Amino acid sequence: FNPLTKISYAIPDASPVRLSVYDMLGREVSVLVNEKKPAGRIEVTFDASALASGVYVYRLAAGSTVLTRKMILVR
């Protein structure tokens, strides 16, 4: 992505959601969502214009489910 991307996810039940972005050293660089969300499909825009090119990981924790995915920022 360059430098905006959309992260979309769906949750089956209303639950607390935390969506965070980390660099490859494990440092948290952004918290995109940290609140209770209703059930359904949700889309969040991540603006990485202040970050350097490289590999980043986002972590989605919703209820008892945790999902981790890799993203590559190319400038």
Q: How far lies 73's CA from each of 8, 29, 60, 64, in Å?
A: 17, 13, 19, 29
Residue-level pLDDT at 75: 82
pLDDT (0 to 100) of residue 73:
96
CA-closest candidate to residue 43, choices 17, 74, 72: 17
Locate 4 and state its tokens.
Answer: 């905006």
C-alpha to C-alpha distances, 67 to 8, 50, 61, 74, nearest whole angstrom: 12, 25, 6, 23
Q: What pLDDT shows up at residue 48?
A: 96
| Token pair listed for 6 | 């959309």
pLDDT tens digits, the chain, 75 residues: what are they? Answer: 889 999 999 999 999 999 999 999 999 999 999 999 999 999 999 999 999 999 999 999 998 999 999 999 998
